[in-house]
Amino acid sequence: MSSIIIASDSPETGRRIADETAKFLGYTYMDPEDVLSAVATKRNLDKDKLKKVLDTLPSSFGRTSRVWRQWLAFIQEATLGRLMEDQMVCHGLAAHLYVMGVSHILKVRIITSEMERLQILASQRDISADKAKKIMKRMEKQRHQWCLQAFQMDETDPSRYDLVISLNQITAKEAVKTIAGVIKYKKFKPMTYSIKCLEDLELESRVRASIIKDHPEASVTARDKTITVKVKTLKRERKKKTAAIKELVGGIDGVDYVEVHFINDIVRQAAESFR
Amino acid sequence: MPEKLKVLVLDDEPIVGKRLKPALSKIGCEVEVFEEPKSALTRIEEKEFDIVVTDIRMDEIDGMEVLDYVAKRWPRTKVVMITGYAMMALAREAMEKGAFDFIAKPFKPDDLRRVIAKAAKALGRPIDFDTDSK
Amino acid sequence: MAIITISRGSYSKGKEVAEKVAERLHYDCISRDVILDTSDHFNIPEVKLIRAIHDAPTLLDRFGHDKRSYIAYFQSALTERVKRDNVVYHGLAGHLLLKGVPHVLKVRIISDFSERVKAEMEREGCHESDARKLILKDDQERRKWTRSLFGADPWDSSLYDLVVHIHKLTVEDAVDFISQAACRDAFKTTDASMKQMEDLALACRIKAELVDEFFDIYVSSDYGNVVVYAKDKDRSTQKLRNRVKTLGEKIRGIHHIEVHGGIPVPANAV
């Protein structure tokens, strides 16, 4: 069955709409806390630190950007895994930035009035409206940077979504009803093709999560259980790298065949030729 | 003996029909293969098929038109769209128009058999194929 | 009932959506005829008006005030027309020109770039690269225009109540959403919102009347109590005061009118 991804400029509002939509439709609300707990347990990580990956830039994360990318890949893997289940409503795991081209997943962005966001921020931090405004501007800028660094995307671009609803005049209840009405359209019915697209994305994320530590620069694509891994390497290292990647990936559940493609590492090649 | 499931396969690439006919006959379907959309439509006009499998991108008449035609002429018939140019927008358009399923090429014969079995079940005439394996 | 504004890029099927929504709700559908109204009413050539409200202001225009005058005329014609209610307006900046009126449902229709290019190629019979260039130029002009006159980017979703991605959904879906949303309580015309709309139309009418002689003014109206805001309190303010006194005879609906100079302009002023 279909699923819904909700993104919002206000995490609190996004969560509320996602939760209410799930209740309205009888779908499962994919609580980000549960997903993060599962990742933390599986990977033996500190959950609070893991959570920070979702709103902190690598520069202020306190660990290397390599670790930041790894942990992000783990979250992605877990989220996509949950989206394989039926009738999910997902929010707060940045799924709108990495779940692409799956026709049975409806993507909605909820926009909250600036006033409401300011009020939430001021009451959460017990600060004045002026200070809240300054902090909010900084947070918006940081969020924009985060999206670019994590997925090279602008999340405010409306063309990323099926629907954008502003809560300036439309109430939350009405927005929920609209989303619930849209998901019933036949076009959001899962089909062999859309299920395959989601399976490919999920497998891709699992493979990526399992090789990212050893091959952080590798790009992974999955199609029909065939995995293509592209890595930068020197000519003389190709054989060794192919064997290592095939060993890592070949055993992953759902993988039938592994192809390793190489891109010449011109920088390392040039550096070595000057030695 | 239960009546065989009547299936029409339309694809302008001859290899597709050649591969699919034996694959579907194997699970008890009575298959008619067409490469020309016009002659397929003439056949659809005179005979009610249980399932129509059609390519989308073809010269003269495309699969979406075939879908519209079948939906009007035989509303009970399940239409399965196959295409080598799968995209989300096209998939959604086909589903909105009432397609039963949408498959991207290339696919394995088992993938189509699974869809046919699903359609047969929806028609209330289940055939012996494991539809829950996926 | 409500007023619906639909903002769109070229070839985004926004016009089709607007017409179908109007048909479904039995509303009037307007766009270009507002321009015609304006050009008749203020006696300016239609071509000049179209250019003024489409092309981005050039450097020279920014220092002159032709363009601002035309916008004032346009806004006056638009508000005059839509205050009768039950209307769908598709065209430039409706959401900005009718800002602040509660029963205005602001919608933006977007479409995939490749689809728009295809439509332009079909209509103009041109090559893909030319179609691409034309659409990019048109988008750029529209964005520049809105930014320079209103300080807002038409692509900013937060300016709208609904943004519908037409390629991912369909024209029919968009028509459904918009029609349903327009019938929601939030967009229903009430006595108070109708009064607000009339006040906006009155303020726009007064600004259009004065803008040629007094370029840098703002006008607000509350229940027909009109305030004209001048930038500074100087000699020209007196001239403005004298001019304003004559308006009561020409424009209906003014209960009281006064001029203020050098004070902050409220958000509802035009």
Domain CATH for B25: 3.40.50.2300
Say if strands C87-90 and C217-222 run parallel, antiparallel, or are unpaired.
Answer: unpaired
Write down the pLDDT at residue C61.
55
Determine if residue B132 is left, alpha or beta; phi over 0 gives left, psi from -120 to 50 gives alpha, anything else beta: alpha
Low-confidence ranges of chain C (pLDDT < 50): 59-60, 63
Domain CATH for C240: 3.30.300
Q: How confident is the prediction for chain A on average, in pLDDT?
A: 91
Write down the pLDDT at residue A145.
93
A181 and A86 in one domain? yes
Write down the pLDDT at residue C134.
85
Number of domains in chain C: 2
pTM exceeds 0.90 for this model: no
Of B60-74, B109-123, C40-54, C114-128, the range with the lowest mean pLDDT is C40-54
- If one counts every other C-beta atom within 10 angstroms of the C-beta of residue C116, the result is 24
A117, two tokens: 């966001």
Residues of B whose CB is below 8 A from C112? 89
pLDDT one-digit tens code per residue, A109-147: 999 988 888 888 888 888 888 898 999 999 999 999 999
Interface B-C: count of C-beta contacts within 8 A? 7
C155 and C30 in one domain? yes
Nearest residue, CB atoms, B96 vs list C112, C167, C170: C170
For residue A175, give how far its alpha carbon lies from the nearest alpha carbon of chain C (Å): 10
Average pLDDT on A23-41 reads 96
pLDDT one-digit tens code per residue, C174-230: 898 889 888 888 888 888 888 889 999 999 989 988 888 887 889 999 888 999 998
C244 and C181 in one domain? no
A125 and A7 in one domain? yes
Split at pLDDT 50, 70, 90, the class of B73 is: very high
Q: Which of C160, C187, C214 is the last residue of a domain?
A: C187
Flag if A162 and C169 touch (Cβ within 8 Å).
yes
Q: At what angle do helices C235-245 and C191-210 cross, to 10 degrees?
A: 120
Residue of A nearest to C102 (CA): A169
C95 and C133 in one domain? yes
A135, two tokens: 């902090």
Q: Report the C-alpha gap between C145 and C93 in whole angstroms.
A: 10
pLDDT one-digit tens code per residue, A249-267: 988 999 999 999 988 777 7
Number of domains in chain A: 2
Which helix (H) or strand (E) covers residue A6, if one does? Answer: strand A3-8
Asked if residue C267 is part of any domain, the answer here is no
Residue with tokens 């930068």: A232
Domain CATH for A231: 3.30.1340
Nearest CA-CA partner of A232 in A270, A268, A257, A206: A268
Query: Which of B97, B101, B114 best tests the A interface by mutation, with the highest count of A CBs <10 A?
Result: B101
Asked if residue C173 is part of any domain, the answer here is yes
Query: Which of A106, A187, A225, A257 best tests the B interface by mutation, with the highest count of B CBs <10 A?
Result: A187
Residues 6+ apart with CB under 8 A from C8: C14, C15, C17, C90, C108, C109, C110
Write down the pLDDT at residue A137.
92
Q: Contact A193/B104 with Cβ under 8 angstroms?
A: yes
Q: Which carries the bigger pLDDT value, residue A219 or residue A267?
A: A219
Helices (H), chain B: 14-25, 37-46, 63-73, 88-96, 109-122
For residue A162, give how far its alpha carbon lies from the nearest alpha carbon of chain C (Å): 5
Flag if C167 and B89 touch (Cβ within 8 Å).
yes
Asked if residue C270 is part of any domain, the answer here is no
Is a pLDDT exceeding 80 seen at residue A62? no
Using CA atoms of A130, A133, A138, A144 in order, give the dihedral in degrees to the nearest 10.
-170
C199 and C148 in one domain? no
Of A199-208, B19-28, B69-78, the range with the lowest mean pLDDT is B19-28
Q: Which domain holds residue B70?
A: 5-124
A169 and A219 in one domain? no
C170 and C59 in one domain? yes
Asked if residue C243 is part of any domain, the answer here is yes
Residues of C whose CB is below 8 A from B88? 168
Asked if residue A56 is part of any domain, the answer here is yes
C256 and C222 in one domain? yes
Is a pLDDT exceeding 60 seen at residue A213? yes
Largest CA distance in chain B: 42
Asked if residue B30 is part of any domain, the answer here is yes
Write down the pLDDT at residue C60.
43
Q: Which carries the bigger pLDDT value, residue C116 or residue A203?
A: A203
DSSP A8: E
Q: Report the C-alpha gap between C160 and C154 in whole angstroms.
A: 9
Domain CATH for A171: 3.40.50.300
Asked if residue A10 is part of any domain, the answer here is yes
Number of domains in chain B: 1
Q: Contact B92/A187 with Cβ under 8 angstroms?
A: yes
C147 and C34 in one domain? yes
User: Is any Cβ of chain A less than 8 angstroms from the Cβ of C172?
Assistant: no
Q: Contact A81/A23 with Cβ under 8 angstroms?
A: no
Q: How confident is the prediction for chain B on average, in pLDDT?
A: 90
For residue A116, give how far its alpha carbon lies from the nearest alpha carbon of chain C (Å): 13
Is a pLDDT exceeding 80 seen at residue A272? no
C89 forms bridges with which residues in the sheet? C5, C30
Q: Which domain holds residue A230?
A: 214-273
Q: Which domain holds residue C200?
A: 191-261
Is a pLDDT exceeding 50 seen at residue B133? no
Percentage of chain A beyond pLDDT 90 is 68
Asked if residue A242 is part of any domain, the answer here is yes
A156 and A24 in one domain? yes
- If one counts every other C-beta atom within 10 angstroms of the C-beta of residue B9, the result is 28
Write down the pLDDT at residue B62.
92
Name the C residues in 49-108 with CB < 8 Å from any A CB: 102, 105, 108
Q: Which chains touch B (3 or more CB pairs under 8 A)?
A: A, C
